[in-house]
A and B are shown apart, each in its own frame.
Chain A
Amino acid sequence: METSKKLPTDPSESPPSPAGDGAADPERLVQGNLSFHDITEMVSRHAEKKAPLAWYVAFGVSLSGALLLIGLLAYVVWNGIGVWGNNQPVGWGWPIVNFVFWVGIGHAGTLISAILYLFRQHWRTAINRAAEAMTIFAVICALIWPTFHVGRVWAIYWTLPIPNQMAMWPQFKSPLLWDVFAVSSYFIVSTLFWYVGLVPDLATLRDRAKNFWRQRILAFFSLGWTGSNRHWRNYEKAYLLLAGLATPLVLSVHSVVSFDFAVSVIPGWHTTIFPPYFVAGAIFSGFAMVVTLMVITREIYGLKNLITIDHLEKMNIIILLTGSIVGFAYITEFFMAWYSGVEYEQYAFINRAFGPYAWAYWIMMTCNLITPQLFWSKRLRRSIPVMFALSIVVNIGMWFERFVITITSLHRDFLPSSWGYFTATWVDIGTFVGSFGLFFTLFLLFLRFVPMVAMAEVKGVMPEADPHHYDPEGNGHAEGDGEPYIAPAEPALAEAYRNDETDAPE
C-alpha cells in the first residue's frame, strides 16, 4: 500500500475549523473534518496493509492462550472432569461461572447493534461492528463451557432433538436444554446480523482490492453488492427486521441462562428477579468489555475521530445505569431474603456476606455497586485512564457476581452435613485464562481482516449525508444548481404561528 496521505487521527490534532462548519459541534459524531473518503481510507487501510509489530506480538500471546485452552480441554476430556475443582455440594464450579460470564459479555454487542438501533441512537454506528464481533467471539468462548463441563462430551449430541434408534428425546423441561437452543440460536442470529451489516463494507474493500485473489475472495463474500437503491432499501428492511428479532432474543437468552439457577429450589438461586437482573448484569459487563477494547483500539489504530470521547462517555453512562440496576437487585434480594421469613433464604445471604466466601462477596459489592458510581462525575466518565481502569474493575466484579451466586449458594444449603468448600485447581485457572486467549485471538483476526468500523453506517450519520445539509432551508438543492428549487416544506401550523409571540394574552 502506498497510502501516504496523513489522516487526522485525533480531534486535538485537527486545526480549528472555520466557524459554521460544525466541526467543533459536540453533537457531531465524527470529529476532525473528515470527508467520506477519509473514513473509507481510515478504516480500510488497516485491513489492507501489513499488520504492525504490536499486532503480531499480541497475536502470539493470545494464540498461546488459545493453545493452552485446547490442550487443557484435551486433558480434561482424557482424565475426566475431576481435574476441575468441583466437588459434591459444589457441582457447578468455574466452568458455569465462566459460561455465564462470557455469555454476559456478548450481550452488549447485540444491545449496541440491535437495541440502540431501534432507539435510533446514531452514536452506535462507530462501535457496533467491533461490538458485534465481540459478541460472536464471546459466545464462542461461552459455548466451550457447557460443552466440556459434561462428563461425557462425546454424547452431547443427545441434547439435540434428533430422531434416533433408541426413540429417546431430550427433556424439554430442563433450562439446560433451553440453553442449548438459546445460545445456539443467539450465535446464529448474531453472526447473520454481523454479516448482513458487513456486506456493504466488504464491497468497499473489494472495490479497493489491488490483488487478484483478494479481489475474488472479497467479491465472493460481498455477494455482488453494488449499492443500488434497491439493494439499500432491502438492506435497511432486513437490518431493521433483524434488529427487531435480535432484541427479544438477547433478553430471552440471558433470561434462560438465569433460569438455570432460578428454577431450582436452592436458597440464593430460587428468586424471581433473576431474569431482568441477569440481563442488566450482562449489559453492564458487556459494555465494560466494549469500553476496555475500544479504548485500546482507537488509540492503536488512530480512530479517535470516529470513536470519540462522547461515544465512550455514553457507554459509561449505560454502565452507570445498569450498574445501579444490578446494585438495586442486590438490595432487593437481601431485603426479600429477610422479608420472606424463610430461614434457609436468610442464612444464604448471611453466609454470602459473612461466611467463608465473604471475600468474594465484598469484592463483588465493591466492584459492582460502589465503583461504577464514580461515573456520576462528568470529569471521571470522560477520563480515558479512569474509564479503562473502571471497565476492568467492572468485569472483575461481574465475574465474582457469577462466582458468588453459583458457589456460595451451593456450598452451604439445606443440610449442614453436606456443606463443603470449593477450591479452584490449576486446570480451572488455566482453562479460564485460555478462554481469554481464544477470545483475543479471534478479536485480533477480526481487527486484521475485517473493517473494524461500519464505514457505510458512519457515512450515513455524517451531516453531509443529510439531504438538507448543503441547504438547510431548502430541499437539498441550492438555488442555481440546475435542479428546481422547492421552498421548504414547513408544517402548515408551525408556519402560520411562527411569529405570533406578540399575540395578546387572553
Chain B
Amino acid sequence: MPDSINRSSLLKWLVDPVQSTSGVAKRAYRFVGDRRAWLVPMALGVALLAISLLGLWESPDDFFFAYLVGWSFLLTTALGGLFFLVFNHLTRAHWSVVVNRINEALVWAFPLLLLLGLPLLFGMHDLYHWTHAGLYDPGSPQYDEILAGKRAYLNTPFWLVRIGVYFAVWTLISYRLYTLSLRQDVRADPEIPAALRSTSAWGLPLLAVTTAFASYDILMSTDPHWFSTIFGVYFFSGGALGAVATITLVSLLLQRTGGLLQGVITPEHYHDLGKYLFGFVIFWAYIAFSQYMLYWYGGIPEETVWFQHRLQGGWAWHSAALVVFHFLIPFLMLLPQATKRAGTVMAVLSVWLLGMHWFDLHWVVLPVLRESGGFHWLDFTCWLGLTGIFAGGLMYRLSRHPLVPQGHPSLHDSLQFENMQ
C-alpha cells in the first residue's frame, strides 16, 4: 500500500493533479463503473463544441456570448462547490463527509476552466465594450467620459492579470483541499483535519474577495456603464445553488447507474442536501430581488437601464420565468420533507435548478447582445459542450479515487447520520 500520493504528469495535472489512489479504496467505496462514465460526456462535449465552432464561423458574436454564459455557468458552480467545501470543513460538519469527495472532485476544476476560457480572449472585442480604443480618445466621436474614468481598472492587461490572480488563488485552495483529503485516504495522518481547516480559514476571505471581483470583471463589465455593489453576492448565490445541485445529481447518478455508495449516501443525506438547495433558492431570490427592488425604487437612470433592458421586448418573459421557475416552483417543491428524501424528485430538481442557473446567467449576459430577447442554437451547444467536458473531468477524477474520504475521522458519524424527524 503506498504511503503517499504522487503527482500526475503535466497534461493529466489539468484534469487530476494526483495519480490514481483507487488501489487503496475500500471495496464499498471503489468506483466499479468503466471508462464510459467519463468518456461519454467528454466525447459528447467535444462533439458539441466542434459543432459550435461552425457557429463561430457564421456569427462570432453569438458564439462568444454563448461561450461566456456556458463558461460562467461552470465557473460559478465550481466556486460554489469550493465555498461549500470550505464551509463544511470550518464548521466541522459531520453529515456531509460522505458527499465531500464528490464536491472535491467538483472543485478541482480551475486549471481546466482556465484552459477552456482561453477562447474567450479572442472575443474580448465583441464581449467587452470597454476594450474599444476609441472610447478613450477625446478626439474620437466614440469618446466616453464615464468609461475613460474607469480606464485604470478596465483595461485588458490589468484585466488579464486579475483573472490570472483569481485562478491562482482558486487553484491553490482547491489543490490543498483536494490533495490533503486524498492523502488522508491513503494514510490517516492526525494532522490533516487541522490542515484542512486552516486552509479553509485563510482560504475563505481570499475566496470571497476574488469571487466578488471576478464577478465584476467577467460578467458585470459586459455592461461597463452599469454597477451594483451586491453583484458579487448574486454571482455567488447562483453558483452555490449550482454546486449543491451538482453534488446531489452526481451522487444520485453514481447510486442509480453503478449501484455504488448504496447505504452510504442515504435519504438522510439527501434530506440535508435538499435543505441546502431550499436555502440557496431562497438566498438567490433574496439577493436578486433586493438588487431589483432597490434599483426599481430609486429609479436613477444610469442604474435602472440595466433592468429596463431586461424587462422590455422578449426579455420580459425571461424575467418573469426567473421569478416562477427559479424561485417559486423550486421553493414549493422543496418545502415538504417528503420531496427532499425522494431520490427521483431530487434528481429532477437538481437538473432543473442547474438549468435555471444557466438561464439566470443567460439573462444577465445576453441582453447586452440581443435587445429583443430569444435564444440562439449556439447558446445550448456551447453550454452543453463545455458542461460535457467539465462533467467528463469530474467523473474521471471520481473514477480514480475512493468515492468517499475513507480516512476522514468523522466518516463513521456521517454514515450513521440521521435527521431529526
Contacts and interface: CB of A to CB of B under 8 A. Distances in A.
A494 B28 contact: yes
B159 interface: no
Contacts of B263: 491-494
Interface residues of A, number: 45
B416 A491 contact: yes
Contacts of B23: 505-506
A160 to B, nearest CB: 23
Nearest to B28: A497
B26 A251 contact: no
A110 interface: no
Contact of B229 (A248, A332, A494): A332
A271 B286 CA distance: 15
Interface stretch (B120-128, B248-256, B290-298): B290-298
Contact of B26 (A271, A328, A497): A497
Interface in A445-502: 491-494, 496-497, 500-501
A21 interface: no
Nearest to B205: A324
Contacts of A341: 146-147, 149-150, 225
A331 B212 CA distance: 11
A501 B26 contact: yes
A503 to B, nearest CB: 6
B27 A503 contact: yes
Interface string A22-46: 0000000000000000000000000
A236 B420 contact: yes
A264 B415 CA distance: 51
B6 to A, nearest CB: 14
Interface string B271-311: 00001000000100011001101110111101000000000
Nearest to B1: A505
A207 to B, nearest CB: 27
B290 A255 contact: yes
Interface in A254-268: 255, 259, 262-265
A339 B233 contact: no
B interface: dominant SS? helix
B287 A270 contact: no
Given A255-B286, A505-B23, A328 B208 contact: yes
A223 interface: no
What band does the interface of chain B fall in when counting residues whose beta carbon is under 8 Å from A?
A: 35 or more
A386 interface: no
B333 interface: no
B294 A270 contact: yes
A264 B298 contact: yes
B297 A263 contact: yes
Contacts of A491: 263-264, 415-416
Interface in A215-271: 236, 240, 248, 251, 255, 259, 262-265, 270-271
Contacts of B9: none
A333 B229 contact: yes
A188 to B, nearest CB: 22
Given A272-B229, A276-B287, A328-B208, A259 B416 contact: no
A372 interface: no
A275 interface: yes
B8 to A, nearest CB: 18
Contacts of B27: 497, 500, 503
Give the residue among A118, A332, A497, A500 with the most B Cβ atoms within 10 A.
Answer: A332
Give the residue among A271, A272, A331, A376 with the most B Cβ atoms within 10 A.
Answer: A272
Contacts of B233: 273, 276
Contacts of B22: 506
A272 B294 contact: yes
Contacts of A336: 227-229
A352 to B, nearest CB: 15
B225 to A, nearest CB: 8
Contacts of B232: 332
B91 A273 contact: no
B73 interface: no
B285 to A, nearest CB: 11
A51 B149 CA distance: 66
Nearest to A489: B416
Nearest to B148: A341
B24 interface: yes
A340 interface: yes
A119 interface: yes
Given A272-B295, A505-B1, A496 B286 contact: no
B142 interface: no
Contact of A273 (B153, B230, B420): B230
A333 B227 CA distance: 11
A300 interface: no
B150 A339 contact: yes
Contact of B264 (A328, A493, A503, A506): A493
Contacts of A262: 294
Contacts of A333: 229
Interface of B: 1, 22-24, 26-29, 91, 146-147, 149-150, 153, 201, 204-205, 208-209, 212, 216, 225, 227-233, 262-264, 275, 282, 286-287, 290-291, 293-295, 297-300, 302, 412, 415-416, 420
Interface of A: 118-120, 236, 240, 248, 251, 255, 259, 262-265, 270-276, 321, 324-325, 328-329, 331-333, 336, 339-342, 376, 491-494, 496-497, 500-501, 503, 505-506
11 contacts: A248-B282, A259-B294, A272-B290, A276-B286, A321-B204, A336-B228, A339-B153, A341-B146, A491-B263, A496-B28, A505-B24
10 nearest interchain CB pairs?
A: A505-B23, A273-B229, A272-B230, A497-B28, A341-B146, A263-B297, A275-B290, A493-B263, A273-B230, A336-B229
Given A328-B209, A341-B149, 10 more contacts: A255-B290, A263-B294, A271-B229, A272-B290, A273-B229, A341-B147, A342-B302, A491-B415, A494-B28, A501-B26
